[in-house]
Each structure stands twice: as structure tokens, then as C-alpha cells.
Structure 1
């Protein structure tokens, strides 16, 4: 199975900038943080720009918060940009500017969770550790459990995927199974293009449909965006990013009609360190 999957990936995997030989561990870490809940097509140009501007943890650690937030643009969840800067500072202070390879050391860095720590360990340092994201969980559910939908994430997922890792070329297997989930074994699977169709438990079971409660649970896990505080925060952040001086409150008032929601979103940005109040009636990005 591993050989089939790796061979398929080598013939069909996307040519993405951070997969090129010579990408530094910092470049891998940056790509993984940027790619969280954001399509690769949006991440790749931003990643290239960031690597040109801040090619090392030390370079990002010395940047201003305002520059970091402007460069993050609309990648989503701008708090991640500031956490990334904090991560760079921790790498400089604790590891001499070199990204650590140990999973536990990576997990101790600001903003680095289970998935990112293992992805960096595997893809930057070649370690044999399980890397589990939404795509991998979906492939595993169909391939090994015979289920169309993967269900909620569990700690057991790491052990399940670890059991599939080959002794050799484990990182290649990990990126291949992720790519299979991104390109073929999607929410609407293209099974005729799958290299594992003959060993897939879901295929062997006759492609059973999920139960009604499984469908309802999957729909509930999908986060809506339209009309949420997240959308309002995004509109305000865009206004602040594009401004070259503090933005008057009256200009912020124009981005959203609901005054209570707008005020809640604005001051949540201030609480999160993504905006600062300047005087009584102006707001700006933090220094």
C-alpha cells in the first residue's frame, strides 16, 4: 500500500514551492502554519513573499507587529501571524535561531499544535512520526474503517495512522496520503483515480452511505462565516491594514450595520492585540 501511494504521489503530487528540495525547516514550519484552514492556492504566493522578506526566524522576530499583520493580509485568523512572530522569537531565544527537530520541543513553541509539530518533524527533518490532518483522517476512515465520513478528531487518530507508516520513507508516505485526501479522496471522492481502490475497505463494503446522525454531526462541525463576528473582524482588519495612519471610528462604523456586533468585534481585536486604540476616536494596527 505504501509503495502504491508513494508512486502515485510522485506522478501526481502538486508542485508547491515549499516541497522543493532545499526548503529550510523554518520554511516548512511557516508553510504549515499558513496552510491551516486556508487553500494552498492562496498560501503559496504569501509564503514566497514571507520567505523573501523574513527567510529566518531571526528576521521575523525583529519585525514590527504592524508589518507582520499587513503581510499576513487575508490568510485568516490574523492572531496566528502574531503567534508566528512569538514562535520565531522563542526559536531565536531558545534554540539559537534554528528550528528544533524534536516533537516535544516543537509543541512547546507558541502557536504550534499537534499537527504542526509532527508535520515539521516529518517533512523538515525526516522523522517517522504520524501526521494527521482532516485529509488524512478522511482517507483513513474510508481505507481502513469502511466509513465515508471520519467522525470527530480523537487522540487515537495518531496511533491509527502511526500503524500505517512504513519503516522506510515514512515522510513521503505521510505527504502522499495527505495529497490523496486533497486531490482524490475528497468529500466527493474520485474513486476511479485512486491508487488504493483495490484495498479500500469502503469500496469493498459497497460504498455505504453514512447514517443520518453522522451526516448531521458532520454538518454541525462545519463553521459558518457569513454574518459572524469573524466576518466583521475581518472587515475591520482589512481597513486597518490598508490605512497608513490611525483610522477614525466613523470610518470603522461604515463597514458593518449592526452597531453592537461591530463594537464587539472591534474591541475583541483590541483584546487580542491585533488593534490598538489611539486617543478616543481612532484605531490602528499595533506597533
Structure 2
């Protein structure tokens, strides 16, 4: 079956029951899932977790929440400190958008994270997924939440596909809605638990490369297994980009040098970074992109994190 034509073969009800029951005893104890975590803590976690492993996020999230436990705290924080605490999470523009979101929360919402997905989508850097996830996980609003892990779980359980492909298609969006629990049932609790249970299954069991089907609570209901676990088609495969020599590696190395060195000579960033396979043209392009994105600033012949010249 192609990635363009998902359909439901098994009944969603038994799958809901199997996954939510499994989640209650198999879930990881993550700080942003605890009952004492604030909506701001949930929003911070969702911003950090995008395309980043949980193991790298936990210490950064803890440090962020220690420094800036409320949106008003992050809104007042110097950009250089925000980027330093973000450290090596990657895609540091997310840190800037998170600070802007904090400012918007203070200015327009009295310092309280808005509760609905519609309101959340109006915050800087908050898209469809993050808005739905925060509304669901922070406020128990039964929104349809679909990340990479959930897409893969739905593709296997209900569409018989090994992998969902790179693009979140209209058909996959419809599938997610079709198998979503009744949002009116049980006050929406089943729907919210389904979201996090499917996400956890994709992270721990139904992984992309080595699914542990023998450990899956819904293995006997899985359309992909019932079809004989066919391998992914070329359309379903995604190609991971090489890190070594990429612009992401170079930008990350420059940001690391700025976090450590404070104000750094421009020539040192272009000539002194230990990246022997990267030429000067790429280094210069990456540095200029960081300056353009507001992640660094030029100070004469030196470069620093924004506002770093004023730090003690």
C-alpha cells in the first residue's frame, strides 16, 4: 500500500485499550510529565524536544526551569544567557522563538500560558503540533497530537505501512482523526492518554529501524504485522542527512565557540575551528547565517552572542 492511501483495517477501540493500559506501567518518568509540572514547563519541553533526543533535553530543561520557572523570567533573560542554557540542543532559533513566546505570554496573556490550541498557535514559534501537544498535555484538552513517533505507530497499526514517509500527508492527517478516541468520552482523558501512549510506544517499542514487536501491547492487532511486516517502499523511506561537514555542524561549532569564549575574533571562527573538512566559503556562509538569524552579533572584528559584551 502506498503512503498516499492509509486506511483503517482493525478497530481502533481495542488498540486504544491496549496502548493506554501499557502506558500506565511502561511510561518513562520525565519531569515535564509529572503532575507538578506547570504549563510553561510543558511548553518549554515541547520546544526543546523537536528533533532532539529526550536524554539530551532533560538536563537542559531542568536548567532552563531552574533559571526561568515562569514566562516572565524568560522574557527578561538576556539572549546570550538563553542561548548558553540552550547549549547543544540544536536549532538554536527555537530558543529565540521560545523567549519571544514568553514575552507574548506576558504581554497578551498576563503571564499565563494560553489554554487552547487556537490561542497557542498565535505564539511565536508555536505550530500545529506544539499547540495541540501543549493544549493536551498541559490542559487535558483532547486535541489530535501527531509527531514523528505517532505517525509511524499509526502507519503500522492501522495502514499496514512499515514507515510513514517524510511528509505528513492529508491522508495521514485524516487517519489520525479517524482513529482518535471520542473526545467527549471520559472527559477527554482517554483521548489525551492515547496521544502520549502512542508517542511513547513509537519512542520505546515501535521504533523506525528496529521495532520490538514482541514487546508491543498491540502486536496481535497490528495491520502491518498481519500483512507479514512488509519492508518499507522507496516512497516510505527517509534519508538521514549526514552531520559531518554539514552546515548544521559548522553552525553548531561556531555557537559552541561563542558560548565558551564570549567575544571571539571573527578570524578565529573562520580559521581556528577544528573542522578540517569544511572550507572557508562554508564557514563564512554559516557565520553570516547566524548573524542574519540574530543568533550572533558583529562587534567590529569580533563576534559574540547577542548582548554578550555586557555580561560580567
60-69 vs 223-232, which moves further: 223-232
- The yes-or-no answer on 1:278 pairing with 2:303 is no
* Per-residue deviation, residues 209-265 of structure 1 (Å, max 9, x unmatched): 223x225xx233x33322111111110100001123x21123212114511111111
Alignment partners' CA distance in 1, 2:173 and 2:134: 15
* Per-residue deviation, residues 64-94 of structure 1 (Å, max 9, x unmatched): 0000000100000111101110010011111
SS, match of residue 149 in structure 1: coil
- 1:100 match: 114
SS, match of residue 50 in structure 1: helix
SS, match of residue 225 in structure 1: coil
Alignment partners' CA distance in 2, 1:38 and 1:28: 15
- Tell me the TM-score normalized by structure 1: 0.95
Alignment partners' CA distance in 2, 1:264 and 1:106: 34
Structure with bigger RCO (C-alpha 8 Å, 6+ apart): 2
Moved over 4 A (4+): none
- The yes-or-no answer on 1:176 pairing with 2:197 is yes
- 1:209 match: 231
- 2:247 match: 229
Say how many residue pairs are matched: 281
Q: CA deviation at 1:162?
A: 2.6
**Residue pairs, 1:54-203, within 5 angstroms:** 54-151=68-165, 152-166=167-181, 167-168=185-186, 169-187=190-208, 188-203=210-225
Cα RMSD over matched residues?
A: 1.3
- The yes-or-no answer on 1:44 pairing with 2:35 is no
Q: Give ranges in structure 2 of 5+ residues lacking alignment.
A: 1-14, 308-312
- The yes-or-no answer on 1:251 pairing with 2:272 is no
- Tell me the TM-score normalized by structure 2: 0.87
* Per-residue deviation, residues 3-48 of structure 1 (Å, max 9, x unmatched): 2111101111111111111211111000000000110011011111
